[in-house]
């Protein structure tokens, strides 16, 4: 029994090693080797990086640059009372990496009556020259999610629901200028 098992194991490893050795020269030849023309004609690439579709423009880039979007958003936000009349969206959104995050933070601040500078400092982790001395979020903290920052600043509010509402309002603002 042991001898039969060793023969079967040796046969298995022998065949698998021959397959690997036989396939190695074809892999080493690359696109210039024999059969390259046939490989180029196939509709599906064997390169897994090419399997991921790359969109040439993100949704924000499709409607314009970020600064253009901020300029378009400013009057509407001021009209809603979300943004002060003497401030632009470009100024308040500078510390944010994503415009939708800034808009959601603006809406959450407006909806809940939370100081925007405190909420912005909590969400971005960036403390601008704005006065944040009265904020409950300590200096030097890491950035928090909008929900956690709301919870730190106003414990008596359903922070998750407030975040969902603010994010929905931000999506509507962006949809309003792109459509």
3-state secondary structure the chain: CHHHHHHHHHHHHHHHHHHHHHHHHHHHHHHHCCCHHHHHHCCCCCCHHHHCCCCCCCHHHHHCCHHHHHHHHHHHHHHHCCCCCCCCHHHHHCCCCCHHHHHHHHHHHHHHCCCHHHHHHHHHCCCCCCCCCCCCCCCCCCCCCHHHHHHHHCCCCCHHHHHHHHHHHHHHHHHHHHC
Q: How far apart are CA 114 and CA 111, in angstroms?
A: 8
More reliable by pLDDT, 63 or 93: 93
pLDDT, tens digit (0-9, with 9 covering 90-100), for 14-69:
555 555 555 555 445 555 555 555 545 455 666 666 666 554 444 444 446 888 98
Please count the other Cβ atoms lying within 10 Å of the Cβ belonging to residue 60: 16
Q: What is the mean pLDDT of the chain?
A: 76
pLDDT at 114: 92
pLDDT at 142: 81
Domain ranges of the chain: 63-178
pLDDT at 104: 96
Is this structure's pTM higher than 0.75?
no
Averaged pLDDT, 127-144: 70
More reliable by pLDDT, 149 or 60: 149
């Amino acid at each position: 029994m042991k001898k039969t098992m060793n023969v079967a194991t040796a046969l298995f490893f022998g065949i698998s090693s021959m397959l690997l050795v036989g396939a190695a020269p074809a892999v080493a030849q690359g696109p210039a080797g024999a059969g390259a023309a046939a490989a180029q004609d196939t509709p599906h690439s064997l390169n897994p990086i090419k399997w991921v579709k790359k969109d040439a423009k993100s949704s924000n880039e499709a409607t314009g640059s970020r600064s253009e979007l901020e300029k378009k958003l400013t009057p509407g936000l001021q009209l809603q009372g979300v943004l002060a009349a003497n401030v632009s969206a470009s100024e308040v959104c500078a510390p944010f990496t994503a415009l939708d995050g800034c808009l959601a933070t603006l809406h959450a601040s407006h909806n809940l009556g939370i100081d925007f500078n405190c909420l912005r400092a909590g969400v971005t982790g960036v403390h601008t020259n704005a006065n944040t001395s009265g904020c409950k979020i300590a200096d030097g903290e890491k950035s928090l999610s909008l929900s956690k920052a709301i919870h730190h600043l106003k414990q008596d509010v359903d922070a998750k629901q407030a975040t969902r509402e603010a994010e929905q309002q931000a999506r509507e603002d962006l949809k309003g200028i792109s459509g």
